[in-house]
Chains A and B, each alone.
Chain A
Amino acid sequence: MNGWTTSELMAAEMSRHIADGEVAIMGAVSALPMAACRLAQATHAPASWFVAGGSGAVNPHATPLPQSSCDDRLLDAACVLPLPEVVMLEGRGDVFDVFFAGGLQIDAFGNTNLERIGRAEHPRLKGPGGVGLSFLPLAGRVVIYTMTHDPRTLVEQVDFVSGPAKSLTGRGPVLIVTPLCTMDFDPDTGRARLRTVHPGVTADQVRAATGFALAVQDSVPETEPPSRRDLEVLRRLA
């Protein structure tokens, strides 16, 4: 037994990808990135910002954090933007440094799909839809997260591109965080490669759970576990 949960490990890892002064944004099902942003603010990035999804709340203070990205408890915040203005700013392409994104499918290149699994006519699974994922090409960096690491979720090619990996103004996807590992992207091929394995997980386990051919180096470091301070902050937010 570790002294922390997988979600805590993932939130701590995601928080390290927010630098001080940066502005992050996230969509629905955003309890994990919200916790990561709050942790960053409480530790290494006190001057960072985040916009909590559809609520439009900028740096919400709510403790604990609500599960829904549109909860009215989030409105106790540094300020609140009306949602249409969040959408306006997403289009500028120079406002948001980090965009946290998820998907029913995530592919080897970092494309994400919230639309459907299977063909357009009679899909096997109709997803909810991509909301703002089509804005990913205008974010500085994209951090992808999923609570499900299996071959159906991590696929060679998504069935529908909701969130494009190709970037117009930034670097595109830089990181995938799953319950088993973190991945980054090979600058030459653009493909995801194993970056770290979470403590207790082997590279072979990750490979078996991944639906695309994952590049694995000879020695893969472990994901840095959350510190005692990280856990104090995260447990207040949970």
Chain B
Amino acid sequence: MSSKVVSTHDAVAALSFKTLAAGGMHMHNNPMAVVFEIVRQERRIERLITSPSAALAADVLIGAGLVDEVATSYIGFEHLGLAPCFRRAAEAGAVRVLNLDEASITHGLYAGASGLPFAVLPPALELSDVWRSNPTGYRKVIDPFTGVAVLATEAIRPDVAVIHAAEADERGTAWLAGASFTDRLMAMASKRVVVQAERVVSSQTMKEHPAGSTIPGFLVTAVVEAPGGCRPTASHGNYAYDEAALQEYLRMARTAEGFAEWMPRAVPAAR
């Protein structure tokens, strides 16, 4: 049986995509090893799709100038501060922001994962300005059961998802330690999935993990072994986020020059 484990370089070089989804929530489980490789290979992303709360992965891709538009409900660093590159690019109009909220991302991914044509949303969401600010992402439809107009959002079906896992085996089955956030859903909604794992383990080990914490190998295109691959963000069950390193990023990335100085230090050589 051929192994899905490849080098980070080869995994990214083999990808063909217009839309790319990156996993992780806040400063946790950001798939930085693959993200840095995407930057190294200067791969253009027509639409970046984030989890409900993105941080470093999205900010770095936007800072590198690779993202045309970003569909998101939050890019920031929680109590540490705003996302410097996202902020700069959005204020300058250098990246197009497709505003969503966490419900639209979650239900949109469900629709993508289940083959639903679109997702219908709870009534409250039309009271906010989110849907009005994003005409490509939302439509009003008539509920055929009640005749009432309700809000609908696009099914999200990314070309590629990049997900961090604690463990993966050679056939691509991956285990997400700790909270899996929307990462399993993102994997299920995407046409191709690249998993970066702290460790590549035997399929025997993988059998021990509980239902609901794994991604089946048949959904996974490639596995990259990337110990420490979320740094400076956290990897649940493995290491905490490096607050000093994130603070340094936030300080340096405040200007385009500072970001350009930070990048080569952070991006590892090809592996």
Q: Could you list which residues of chain A lie within 8 angstroms of chain B, going by C-beta atoms?
A: 28-29, 31, 54-57, 67-72, 75, 80, 82-84, 87-88, 90-93, 114-115, 120-138, 160-164, 166, 168
Contacts and interface: CB of A to CB of B under 8 A. Distances in A.
B19 interface: no
Given A83-B179, A161-B127, 10 more contacts: A68-B79, A90-B103, A91-B122, A126-B87, A128-B74, A129-B99, A132-B52, A132-B101, A133-B101, A162-B130
A125 B91 contact: yes
Contact of B28 (A56, A70, A168): A70
B90 interface: yes
B124 A130 contact: no
Kindly name the residue among A83, A121, A160, A166 whose own CB sees the greatest number of chain B CB atoms within 10 A.
Answer: A83
Interface string B24-50: 011110000000000000000000000
A134 B82 CA distance: 20
A70 B79 CA distance: 12
Nearest to A136: B124
B181 A164 contact: no
B88 to A, nearest CB: 8
Given A93-B122, A129-B72, A69 B78 contact: yes
Contacts of A87: 52, 102-103, 106-107
Contacts of B179: 54-57, 70, 72, 75, 80, 82-83
Given A84-B110, A131-B102, A135-B103, A168 B129 contact: no
Contacts of B72: 129
A84 B75 contact: no
Contacts of B82: 126-128
Interface stretch (B218-226, B234-242, B250-258, B262-270): B234-242
Interface residues of B, number: 54
A131 B234 contact: no
Given A125-B91, A134-B130, A138-B122, A69 B73 contact: no
Nearest to A163: B128
Given A54-B53, A134-B124, A126 B130 contact: no
B156 to A, nearest CB: 13
B25 A54 contact: yes
Interface string B55-78: 000000000000000001111101
B92 interface: yes
A90 B212 CA distance: 21
B83 to A, nearest CB: 6
A172 B45 CA distance: 40
Interface in B76-127: 76, 78-79, 82-83, 86-87, 90-93, 97, 99, 101-103, 106-107, 109-110, 121-125, 127
A83 B123 contact: no
B25 A129 contact: no
Contact of B74 (A84, A120, A121, A130): A130
A28 B182 contact: no
B155 interface: no
B153 to A, nearest CB: 12
A130 B101 contact: yes
Nearest to B27: A68
A135 B92 CA distance: 29
A29 B78 contact: yes
B103 A130 contact: no
B136 interface: no
A126 B73 contact: no
Nearest to A135: B124
Given A125-B91, A160-B129, A162-B130, A134 B103 contact: yes
Nearest to B88: A126
List of 7 A-B pairs having minimum Cβ-Cβ separation, nearest first: A128-B76, A91-B122, A137-B124, A164-B127, A126-B90, A134-B128, A129-B74
A67 B78 contact: yes
